[in-house]
Amino acid sequence: VYELRKFMRSNAGTCVNQKPIVKKGQHVKRGQIIADGPNTDHGELALGRNVLVAFMPWNGYNFEDAIMISEKVVKEDIYTSIHIDEFEIGARDTKLGPEEITRDIPNVSEEALRNLGPDGVVRVGAEVKPGDILVGKITPKSETELAPEERLLRAIFG
């Protein structure tokens, strides 16, 4: 059994993903290539792509205005890459009480919380975009830090 590396982070922050090129139950010979990595294609070194690019004037401007590429390059995601960033967050004990990681964040819409699981952390497989909430964290505030409407709500509901 050979463990494949799936969606691991490289030193450059890009995604390292190995794909099997043999089928389950297939007889494998000694020295046979069984998986492709990010820089190989059926065991051959595969770095980069050969494309035809045009540096040309666009609507009468100079050559620095446009780089023309084929629509096929865009549709087939030829130059698309996956980048992996790692974030750490902790819940500490503060003078005003413990911080809490939760999905129940006051004054935040359900739409903004759509990617969070019940534990307050983004669900595995969720498609996130810049600005999305990845972790719900509540930090206790002192009464002097609260906005007037928050003080009123706290006075009414405790």
Q: What is the pLDDT of residue 19?
A: 92
Token pair for residue 64?
A: 């620095």
Q: How confident is the model at residue 61 (pLDDT cuts 50, 70, 90)?
A: low
Q: Domain of 133: which CATH number? A: 2.40.50.150
3-state secondary structure of 101: strand
Q: Do 37 and 18 touch, CB atoms closer than 8 A?
A: yes
Tell me, yes or no, whether 67 lies in a domain.
no
Q: How confident is the model at residue 1 (pLDDT cuts 50, 70, 90)?
A: confident
Q: What is the pLDDT of residue 153?
A: 84
Q: Maximum Cα–Cα distance for the chain, whole Å?
A: 74
Tell me, yes or no, whether 120 lies in a domain.
yes
Tell me, yes or no, whether 69 lies in a domain.
no
CA distance 84 to 89: 16
Tell me, yes or no, whether 123 lies in a domain.
yes
Tell me, yes or no, whether 27 lies in a domain.
no
Tell me, yes or no, whether 135 lies in a domain.
yes
> Which of 57-61, 68-72, 123-127, 149-153 has the highest mean predicted lDDT (pLDDT)?
123-127
Token pair for residue 92?
A: 């500490």
Q: Do 115 and 126 touch, CB atoms closer than 8 A?
A: yes
Tell me, yes or no, whether 129 lies in a domain.
yes
Examine the pLDDT at 73 and tell me if it is beyond 90: no
Residues 6+ away with beta carbon under 8 Å from 12: none
CA distance 76 to 70: 10
CA distance 133 to 91: 16
Examine the pLDDT at 35 and tell me if it is beyond 90: yes
pLDDT (tens digit per residue) in 138-149: 988 776 777 888
Total domains in the fold of the chain: 1
Tell me, yes or no, whether 19 lies in a domain.
no
Give residue 116's domain range.
88-158
Question: Per-residue pLDDT averaged across 69-78, rounded?
Answer: 82
